[in-house]
Amino acid sequence: MDKNKLTYDYIAGTDIHVWQHKNMFRINSDTAQLAHFMKINKGDRVLDIGTNNAALLLAAHRFDPSFLCGVDIQDEACELARFNLAENGISDAEIICGDFTEMNLSGFDVVVCNPPFFQMGDHFKPALTPRSIARHEFFLPLSELFCKIRLSLKENGRLYMVHRSERLADLMEECRKNRLEIKTLQLVYDARKEQAVSVLIEAVLGGKKGCQVPHPILLKKDGTFERNPFPAEAENE
């Protein structure tokens, strides 16, 4: 791996550093929010769908899982993920290169996913580049993604996902169709915008009904984020 073609960056709010390609999809605030939001228990088997540079696997490794698995359709992303795992001395992990919708994975306690956000339309077909593959549903439509997530999880296994807030209705529909009960839903706001920009969900396969909606996360203009933007005095009113 030629480090001259890479940058060495950290996930905001953590001490985790990853090597990244300059011309591929790179970690951003969504990566950081999901890294903080997901709950990994000691001994969990964790699957990261669309692992890219393995940033979320590195975040999961802090909690002593028994096994880590990352899937990505891009060869370069898989090579970089393996490199980042090796750089961090992580050996209890596997990176699989290929189309997730054609895989038969199962037995995972946790699935984490920062999926392609943008739907493909009849009149919108961006050029096929490493960055556009990570951002658009070329190979991973939401309905097929959720079907495979259901098959990958153990009963009562947990899904942690970040997505665009405008796709929330789609997420809720796919969860219910696949026996994934949303247990936690948290919105993320950008201080420069009026509407929520993204949503974090925790869903349990075969889980009981009942969803918690904690305080939203606020992304500040300087790039930092605040997990409880409401002042204490407002909570007591």
Find, among 177, 117, 122, the residue nearest to 147 by Cα.
177
pLDDT at 122: 45
pLDDT at 230: 67
CB-based contact 33:13 (threshold 8 Å): no
Q: Is 13 exposed, middle or buried (0-12, 13-18, 19+ CB in 10 A)?
A: middle
207: containing domain: 3-235
Tokens, residue 87 = 């750089």
The domain total for the chain is 1
Going by pLDDT thresholds of 50, 70 and 90, the confidence category of residue 227 is confident
Going by pLDDT thresholds of 50, 70 and 90, the confidence category of residue 199 is very high
pLDDT at 128: 56
- Rounded to whole angstroms, how far apart are CA atoms 35 and 55? 8
Read off the pLDDT of residues 119-157 as tens digits, 9 standing for 90 and up.
655 445 655 555 454 454 555 688 899 999 999 999 999
Q: How far is CA 129 from CA 3, 76, 135, 136, in A?
A: 21, 12, 10, 10
pLDDT at 123: 45
What secondary structure, in 3-state letters, does 61-117 show? HCCCCCEEEEEECCHHHHHHHHHHHHHCCCCCEEEEECCHHHCCCCCEEEEEECCCC
pLDDT at 212: 97
Read off the pLDDT of residues 10-44 as tens digits, 9 standing for 90 and up.
888 888 999 988 777 788 888 999 999 999 999 99
CB-based contact 188:198 (threshold 8 Å): yes
pLDDT at 120: 55
pLDDT at 225: 80
Secondary structure letter of residue 221 according to DSSP = T
CATH number for the domain that contains residue 22: 3.40.50.150
CB-based contact 91:63 (threshold 8 Å): no
Average pLDDT, the chain: 87
| pLDDT (average), residues 211-235 | 78
Which residue type sits at 116? P
pLDDT at 21: 85
Q: How far apart are the first and last CA of the chain?
A: 56
Mean pLDDT lowest among 19-23, 54-58, 65-69, 184-188? 19-23
pLDDT at 182: 98
Contacts of 7 (CB under 8 A, 6+ apart): 19, 20, 22
pTM of the model as a whole? 0.87
| pLDDT (average), residues 76-105 | 94
